[in-house]
Amino acid sequence: MPVPFLCGDAERVSRMKAIEIAQRLAQLNETESALQAYKLALQGETDSTTKMEAAAYILQFGRDDDYKISYTMFHDLYNQGIFKENILEIMDEAFYAPNVKMMKAHYKKNCALLEKYPYIFRKDFLKFEDLPIKFYPYDDTSYTPYYPVQERFGAYIDFKDTVIKHYFFKDLENPILATDIYSQYELEYLRDNVRRSEDVAKENHIYLHYTSWAEFCAYLPCLNMKPLLEEKKIVFLFEDEINQYPIDFKERFNIDYSKFTLQPVRVQEVNKMIWHTQLSSHNGGDFFNEVFDFHPNLLTMPSIMMDNIENQIGIVRDTLTKIPTLQKAFEVFGANKGWSHQIIEELYHMKGRTDKDILVAMFLSDTRACAGLDASSRIAPTLFFQPHFSNIVYELGVDSANRAVLNAKHSEKIHNSPIFQKFKYIKTFTPMRRFTTSHGATVRFMYNRAVWSNEHDETAKSIVSDAISERVLNRSFMIDPADRLYHDSILVRFEDGKLNPKATFTALAEFVDLPFADSFSYCSEFGKINPTYNYAIGFDTSSVFKTYDEYVNNDEKKYIEFLLRDAYEYYGYDFQAYNGELVSEDTMQKWVGNFTTVDKYIRETWEAVFGAVKLTDAAGDVEEIVEKAAQKIMVEDVLNRFYLNRLENGKKLLGGLEFINEEGQLLRMMPKLELDPALLEQTLYH
């Protein structure tokens, strides 16, 4: 029997509601087709009865993760007060009952562990049946809390969500105090980043204060206490017990931490990275490196070429593998690299040694990287890392639905890097500068480098590439929310950092979870204030207002602004050239045909490169006339290819700026760092 929903009978489909099609397909036992129809029926549907019927069918006959559609619909309908009794019965039967035995066992295990723990002073755990919150599993790590007294479901909770949401390390004068933390990821983050009291020779426990004992008990079925208790770093305080903070361990437990010896940071204590991403060329990356330099809780280096750092790690890895004894390791790394015996010994004996461990060891052993480090700090240092690429080039493709797909080799390199894979905690921030400004600065840099290399180094000719195409296709600010490396990320405008440094770096310190230090108030490199090799030293604002008109003309600006118009709006930049007009293919062709400024620099530098080519005739003699003619043809061929590529890309993006990853998932804008208006020194830049 033909199925109208599948056969594309448009006239019949237009006369029937999707729910009617779904019901008919269900009657015909066309389960797969009925599922698709019920899913379609939920799109834009307002009738609650239809939603309930569709959710029930999808739950019963759905595949893989289809149950999540039903789960979400039941959750929303219940909180709207619709079909409450029926929905709670379904949710209990489908999601709670199959998991309650496991959660009860988990609760019992956590209670048993806590009963034996010395730094929890309340042991009257509630019976499982009396817990004030019921958790309904959504997937392997996510739950939905249900509050029986209030008769409502709460928001989804992913206990292992890899985001640090709290500002734990704002003040390191006193032991860390955090309130009502129920994220497994954040609890482990505290455990892994706060150093042991024995190692810092002072009371340094993590104080976790919970404002409700009953609520704390209710969360225990979903948490794993075992890894949190092993090192006895945590003190639990409940309700009024907050008055005990901080505890005098010498008086109460007869433990005097001041008698311990301050220990150097171990390689495996460093578990957190701040990844300073390279959005594109000349985006103010050096400026941010210089502000973060010399922070007392950071291991910092200027930008490092990714290939170079991988090569260095490879050399250390291979050397360690070949060294037969620890004594030999002392000789090799102590003499050649100046590493301490403590780091060499830890790395040499480390089981499962990774590239991440080697990188940390390299930073810990470099006096420049440790220049500002506070060895007695309460927290382990964070590794500040900006892997650099000589150029970032994205390629643009389209999928079957004509949606834009972007990919870049440098992005794949980062994602495949064992360095990034092994850091458990990654805070990602990306500097952005007005696109036309950074483009102009890039062309200037490329041209000046080419002129110098062509005059001074015959073996290394340099050129100006198609920087304008590279600019408009570089959408590193668009991220896949599920991408672990960007899951906890923020975008920071270069102009804000220059014009409003106090507000910017106060907010950025909170995001990366570091105390705001004096080092945030000046620029330095390895502690030396205001390196003189930059164009705009320190917080000099002149680079904010440069337009580089000699390196980018008006039509080039229009092209850039139009093809990045969504980013201009989202990140708060006004247009300088594009006036918001409707753009047709003719408009695009007119703009691209007038890229005379960038093409001038391309032509000049490519002519210099091709000028090194010597063509000969049949007799082997150099043909100067033929040579010059051929070189001109070669240059014009390059420019023509660039022209066609710009035009093609522009036409592809005329229809819209919707981008997807290679799996077809929509990309979204990286969140922008928001500044406290009270800290603004100047009006926000637009």
Question: pLDDT tens digit string along 320-339?
Answer: 999 999 999 999 998 777 89
pLDDT tens per residue, range 633-654: 889 999 999 999 999 999 988 8
- In degrees and rounded to multiples of 5, residue 577 shows phi and psi of -125, -50
Range of weakest confidence among 533-537, 583-587, 624-628: 624-628
Helices in 572-674 by DSSP H: which ranges? 585-592, 596-610, 624-652
Residue 12 phi, psi dihedral angles, 5° rounding: -70, -40
Q: Are 138 and 68 in contact (CB under 8 A)?
A: yes
Q: Which helix (H) or strand (E) holds 67?
A: helix 67-79
Three-state SS at 44? coil
Q: What is the pLDDT of residues 659-671, one digit of tens each?
A: 877 777 888 999 9
Element (H, E) at 660: strand 659-660
Interval 141-158: pLDDT, tens: 899 999 999 999 999 999
Handedness of CA 400, 403, 409, 415 (dihedral sign): negative
pLDDT, residue 11, reads 36
* Token duo for residue 141: 């790590």
pLDDT for the residue 298: 98
Q: What are 29-47's pLDDT values in tens digits?
A: 999 999 999 998 888 778 8
State the Cα torsion 255-256-259-262 to the nearest 10°: 90
**Distances in whole angstroms, Cα of residue 422 to Cα of each of 83, 163, 182:** 47, 16, 24
Q: How far apart are CA 372 and CA 381, in angstroms?
A: 11
* Predicted pLDDT of residue 43: 85
Note the pLDDT of residue 624: 55
Give me the chain's average pLDDT, please: 90
Q: Where in the chain are the domains?
A: 4-82, 95-262, 395-679
Q: What is the pLDDT of residues 364-405, one digit of tens each?
A: 999 999 999 999 999 999 999 998 876 666 676 666 666 777
Lowest mean per-residue pLDDT among 1-5, 247-251, 321-325, 553-557: 1-5
Give the SS3 label for residue 191.
helix
Burial class (CB in 10 A: 0-12, 13-18, 19+), 22: buried
- Closest by Cα among 130, 619, 522 to 287: 522
- The answer to whether the beta carbons of residues 420 and 466 sit under 8 Å apart is no
pLDDT-derived band at 615 (thresholds 50, 70, 90) equals low
**Where residue 312 falls among pLDDT bands split at 50, 70, 90?**
very high
Q: Quick one: pLDDT at residue 412?
A: 76
**Residue that wins the pLDDT comparison between 416 and 442:** 442
Residue 10 has pLDDT above 50, yes or no: no
Could you tell me the pLDDT band of residue 14, with boundaries at 50, 70 and 90? very low
Q: What is the pTM of this model?
A: 0.91
- Residue 607 near residue 635, CB atoms below 8 Å: yes
The strand ranges marked E within 480-602 are 489-493, 524-525, 528-529
Identify the CA nearest to 519 among candidates 302, 298, 679.
Answer: 298
Share of the chain above pLDDT 90, in %: 75
Can you give the pLDDT at residue 622? 54
In this structure, the number of other CB atoms found within 10 A of the CB of residue 669 comes to 15
Q: How confident is the model at residue 3 (pLDDT cuts 50, 70, 90)?
A: very low
What is residue 16's predicted lDDT score, i.e. its pLDDT? 54
Bridge partners of 174? none
**In this model, does residue 290 exceed pLDDT 90?**
yes
Strands lying side by side in the sheet with 659-660: 395-398, 404-407, 659-660
Kindly state the average pLDDT of the residues 173-189: 98
DSSP string, 284-295: SHHHHHHHHTT-
- Alpha carbons within 13 angstroms on the beta-carbon side of residue 240 total 0
Q: Tell me which residue has tokens 């001109």.
A: 632
Burial grade of 387 (CB within 10 A; 0-12, 13-18, 19 or more): buried
Q: Choose the weakest-confidence range: 251-260, 276-285, 299-308.
A: 276-285
